[in-house]
Structure 1
Amino acid sequence: MGLRDIFSGKNPEIYEQKGDTSFHAKAYGKAIVEYERALERLEKTSPWDDGYRQSLQEKIRNSKDVLALEHCQTATDLVEAGHHKDAGQYFELALELTADPKLKKAIHDQLQKIEAQLAEAVQIDSQDDVIAEQEKAPDEKPIHEEQNDEYFMALIGTLPEEVQDAYLSYPQAFKKGYLALNQGEFEAAARHLARAMEEHPDPRSYIPLELATARLNLEKYDDARRLLESFLQYHPDALPAYQFLCEIFWETKTFNQAETLLSSLPPELSESVAGYLLRGETYYHAGKYAQAKTYYRDFLKRYDWNEPVARALAKTHEALGEMANARNIYQEIMQQCHSCHSRIDPYIKQKFADLSFASGLNTSEVLELYLSLVRENPQNASDYYQKVSLIYSAQGNDEEAQRFQLFAEKAKDRSA
C-alpha cells in the first residue's frame, strides 16, 4: 500500500490533527476548515460514532468563537480609532461565526451603537446624493469583490503587522489563493498561489508558506516539504513552517526526521510551548505514549500550569487507557477556568462528563454538566438528555429518568 492509500483522508483524525496544529498556531480560520473536513470524512467512514462527531463539532464551534472574539477585538480597536464602518464589518463577520447567544447579543448591541453613530455623522443633502450618483465610476468594484477584500483583510488581521504588510504587497493572484485556502478550496488555492510565486519570485516572500499549506492539504507532501525547507532558509524563526513540516513527517511516518528537525529549532522556538508541543506530538504520533506522557508531565512540573500541554497530556493518558488520569486532568482544566473566572471550553466539559459517565460516576456534577451542554451544544441535546436520564435511573430517581428520556426522544425527533 502506497503513502497515498494510507493518507488519502480516510482517517478523520488526520484532518483533526491538522486543525489542532492550526488552532495552536492561532490560525483559527484554517483550523475550522480542517475540523470541518474531519467531520465530513467521519460522516463517510464512521457515521455511527456520535461521540467523535460531537467532539469535532465542539472544536469547530470553539474555533469559530475564538475567531469571532478576535474580530470583535479588531472591531473595538477600529471604533476607538473612529473607523466605525470598518468596525461594523468585523462585527458582522464575528456574528456570522459565533453561535454563542451572549456573544451574539453583545455584537448586536455594538452594531446598533455603530449604526446610530453613523446615522448621526452622515449629513448629506439631496444634491450631494445626485452628484454622487452621477459621479459613480463605471468600473466600480462589484459587491462580491468588495466582500472578498473585506474577508481578506479580516483573515490577515490576526497576523503580525510586518506579515500583513507583506501580504498586502503581493499580486492579486495571492489574495485569490489565500482566500481559497481559507475556504478549503485547495486545488484553486494551489493554482492561484503558484501563479503568485511566478509573478512575485522573491524567495524571501511568504507566498511559499501558503502554497506549501495548499500542497500539504492536497497530500503533495514532497512538493510541500521542498517549499517549506526553502522558506525556512529565509525565515528560520517561522513557527508555522516547522509545524507543517512536522505534519508531513507524522503523516509519512518518518518520525526520526521530525525529531531531527525539532532538534534544529532556534532557541526561542525550542523553549516555547509550541516547541514542546511539537516534540510531544511527535512522540504521540509515533505511538511512544509513555515517552509523551513523561515529557508532558516534566514540562508541567518545570513550568507550572499550561492548558495546551495539559490537554495533550490528557489525550496521551486516554491513548494509554489511563482514563482516570485523563478525567482528573480535564477536571483540573475546568477548575483552573473557574479560578480565573474564564469560560470553560464545552469540549473539556464533555470529555470530563463522558469519561466520568463511562466509568460509572453517575454524580450530580456530571448530570449538571450534561444539562449545561444542552444549552451550549443544542444539536446534540438528544444524547445529553439520554445520559441525564441514565444518571437519574442509576440514582434511583425513576420519575426524572422517564422525564428526561422523553426529552431525549423529542430532541431526536426535532433533529431528524
Structure 2
Amino acid sequence: MAADALPPPRGLIAHFTRHKTLANIVLVMLICAGLAAMPRLRAQFFPDSIVEEVTVSVVWDGAGAEDVDRAIVQVLEPSLLVVEGVEATESRATEGVARITLEFEPGWDMGRAVDDVEAALTLAGDLPEDAETPEVTRGVWRDTVTDVVITGPLSVEQLGRLADELVVRLYAVGVTRTTVQGLAAPETLVEVPAVNMIAHDVTMAEIAAVIGAEASTLPAGDVAGGAARVRTGQEKRDAAQIAALVLRSQTDGTKLTVGDVARIRVEGVDRARAYYVGGDPAMTINVARSDKGDAIALQHEVEAAVAEMELTLPHGVTIDLIRTRSDQITQRLQLLLKNGAMGLGLVLVLLFLFLNARTAFWVAMGIPTSMMAAIAAMYVAGMTINMISLFAL
C-alpha cells in the first residue's frame, strides 16, 4: 500500500521556508528598527511611579486637632470627594492646621483638577472666621538626576551668586527643575518683649501695621498711557530704618519708635542650613527630571554647563557632581553590552564546533536580532531603559 502524500506546507512558517530572502529581509528590518529606537529610548533609574496629587491646606491658629477636624475637615471633605477624577483622599487634622490630600487617576489633567478643587471649595460650607483662606497646592513629581556641589574659600553670599549663575546656565540648555540648597533669604526679626508693650501701651498689631505700611512702596497711577507706572514712598527694610519708624507722638513732643520697644536683628542667608566641604562653605544644586525627562541626556547637559562655567570660576572654587544616578544606568548598559558580546562569542564558538561556518553565522545572528527587536518593541510600548528593563534584556 502506497504511503499517503504529505500535505503541502501552509502557514507563515511555510511561507518563510519557501521564500529565499524573506527571512533575511525581516532580520534586517528588526535590526534597523532596534538601532533607530535605541537613541530614542529614555533612560531612568527605576520605572516611574507617578501619583497625581492636590493638597488643600487650611490654617486655624490656636485651634485644637478635634476642633480643626470638626470645623474644617468635615466641612470641606464632602465637597472634595465628589470632584471628578479623584481616586483616593487622605485627611489630617493637627493643632492649628487641616490638610486634605486628593489623589487623582493616572493621566488626569491636573490643571483641570486644580480648577475643580478650587470650585468645590467655593461650594463648601462656611469655615470659622479666624481660619485662613484654603490654600490649594498641586504636587509636582520629580526624580533626582544628580547633585551639583559648589565650594571654595568664599562667603556664602558669593557662593549663592555662583549657584544662581549655574542655575541660569542650566535653564538656558533646558534643565529647568533645579533647587538650590545651603542658603535662605535674609530675614529681619522684630522681637517685642511683653514688658515693653505694657510699659508703652502698644500692641503687636500696631507695630506690625506700622512696619507693613513702610516696608513697601505704594502705586500712585501711571504716565504715558500706562507705559510707565508711578509708585510713592520709600521701602524701609533695613534694621536701622525699621528701628526709626514712629509708632506715635507723645504729648511732650517726643516720638515713640519701633526701636524703643523692640529688638531688631537681621539673620543672614546661612541662618537655616549650611553646608561645608572640609572647612569651606558649600552650595548644592539638586537637578531633577520630570516624568518625560531622560536622566542620561540631562546628565550630559549638566556636565557641559559645569565645564563651561569652570573656566570663569575664582581661584580655589570647585564644582563637583555627586549622587549621579545616570552613571549607574550607564554602567549597567556597558555591562549589558559586555555580557551580550561574551554570550555571542561563546555561541559562535560552540556553533562553529558542530556546524559549518555559514549555518553557524546565521544561527548566531539571532542574538543581536532578538536584542534589537526587543528594544524596538520597548520603544513602541513606551517603555524606558531602567534597572529592571536592563535586567530583563
The TM tier, using the shorter chain, reads under 0.3
What is the TM-score normalised by the length of structure 2?
A: 0.24
Give the structure with the higher percent helix: 1
Give the number of the structure whose alpha-carbon radius of gyration is greater: 2
Give the TM-score of the pair, scaled to structure 1. Answer: 0.23
- The structure with the largest strand share of the pair is 2
